[in-house]
Amino acid sequence: MNPKRYDGYKAYQYLEAGVDYKEYELVEQLDRVPSRKVEVSAEQEQRAARLMTENLVISLHDHCFVAPKDLSQFLEFRRWGRDFTGYEGLAQSGMDCVFDNMMDGTAMITSRAGWKWDDVIFDLGMRLSDIAHQDMVVLATRTQHIRDAKKNGQIAFVVSIEGAAMIENELDRIDVLYGLGVRCLGIAYSEGNALGAGLKEPRDGGLTVFGRKAVERMNKLGMAIDISHSGDQTSMDTIEASKHPVFITHAGARALWDTPRLKPDEIIKACAERGGVIGIEAAPHTTITKQRLRHDIDSFMEHFEYCVDLVGIDHVSFGPDTLYGDHVGLHDALREALSLSASKGTTPYPKVEWVDGIENPTEAFPNIVRWLVKHGYSDDEIVKVIGGNTMRVLEEVWA
């Protein structure tokens, strides 16, 4: 399925572990847990493989790094500023392009609070330094880079950052980020910043004057805008202020599960009316529903189908928000940094150890495509939601 040009490279293998950096035992990238494969017939499996081989497969939001086995060491691990890209797993993911969101909310080299300018730049430079030492994953800053990666058996790596707190009140820092390869930037993470409110704020005053200038600058530069973690009014203001479509790179429908982390119908509709796209996410305990309280690929796809019914197939895609490691354990370890208490609903739900069927970047899209094939979606519809819709927006937004 969509074979990649992988030669066995391991992250930072050009350095000597234990000498150039502190070595941590990392998790296995493949088969860490017995997450299930979506069951399909042999004919359906062939069709799913063909669709992924012949068409662009783009994740709007993932974190393709490998976590340490011992999560009690995670904060010290992050202080080294060295994320280990999961090349082995990515080689089998079927993805042609991934919007990788680094780990800047946990870039805590100089501060326990994260989101500091120096730390974000360090995180970005370190990750791209490693990527520059191998040939399968390539930095993508234009749509042609994505097409070329597909043709060459590579994976286009789009640098995306979930919140803009680190630019502070410095508008030109957006230009600097663009110059360093960033092509998608969130308005706010869960906390408010100089641009607007995040989802955890008790009052959302909307996009600030500076925030409007930032949106204008991103439009001029050709940088995609993400409102996934922004508060409702800030999200709506951003959609209205932007001259180009915006992304909700990773969320779901609040109508199915009442939490600030998911988007209400009016924001999903407004995003679509301006040509934007919502990517459905699968981070643990997010896209559950009243009918499916246990988080798995079926509850995840219920959010997908709801959004398709709401705004049409042309405005929905996938931003699974997966990683290589114990995502649930990571949330527990970083509950404060990731503002998890603000993003969960009040209705009790069973806690899962992993999101069955969509646990990591390797299994996400193969299972998504199997599910779509199994549930009767046409080839044209599948092509749109696994990459076509995202490319349409990028063709308009990117310079």
The DSSP 8-state label assigned to residue 388 in this structure reads I
The predicted-structure confidence for 38-67, as pLDDT tens digits, reads as follows 999 999 999 999 999 999 999 999 999 999
- Collapsing DSSP states into helix, strand and coil, what is residue 278? strand
Question: What is the bridge-based pairing of β-strands 224-226 and 182-186?
Answer: parallel
Nearest to 255 by CA among 239, 267, 240: 267
Ranges of H-type helices in 117-189: 117-131, 143-151, 172-179
Q: What is the pLDDT of residue 108?
A: 83
State the residue for tokens 């069951």. Answer: 39
- Write out the DSSP string of 220-257: HHT-EEE-TTB-HHHHHHHHHH-SS--EEEEE-BTTTS
127 backbone φψ class: left, alpha, beta (φ>0; ψ -120 to 50): alpha
Q: What is the pLDDT of residue 79?
A: 87
* Mean of pLDDT values over 154-165: 97
The predicted-structure confidence for 119-132, as pLDDT tens digits, reads as follows 999 999 999 999 99
Ranges of H-type helices in the chain: 42-54, 74-79, 87-90, 117-131, 143-151, 172-179, 209-221, 232-241, 265-273, 297-311, 327-333, 340-343, 361-374, 379-383, 389-397
Contacts of 172 (CB under 8 A, 6+ apart): none
Q: What is the pLDDT of residue 13?
A: 97
Residue 21 structure tokens: 């950096």
The predicted-structure confidence for 194-207, as pLDDT tens digits, reads as follows 999 999 999 999 99
State the residue for tokens 């930037």. Answer: 185
Average pLDDT of the chain to the nearest whole number: 95
Chain mean position to CA 389: 16
Q: What is the pLDDT of residue 197?
A: 97
pTM, whole model, 2 decimals? Answer: 0.96
The DSSP 8-state label assigned to residue 73 in this structure reads G
Question: 21 has which bridge partners?
Answer: 17
CA dist 380 and 275 (Å) reads: 18
The predicted-structure confidence for 139-152, as pLDDT tens digits, reads as follows 999 999 999 999 99
Q: What is the pLDDT of residue 257?
A: 96
Write out the H or E segment, with its range, that includes residue 68.
Answer: none
- Collapsing DSSP states into helix, strand and coil, what is residue 153? coil
- Collapsing DSSP states into helix, strand and coil, what is residue 66? strand
Q: What is the pLDDT of residue 120?
A: 94
Domains of the chain plus CATH, in order, are 42-397 (3.20.20.140)
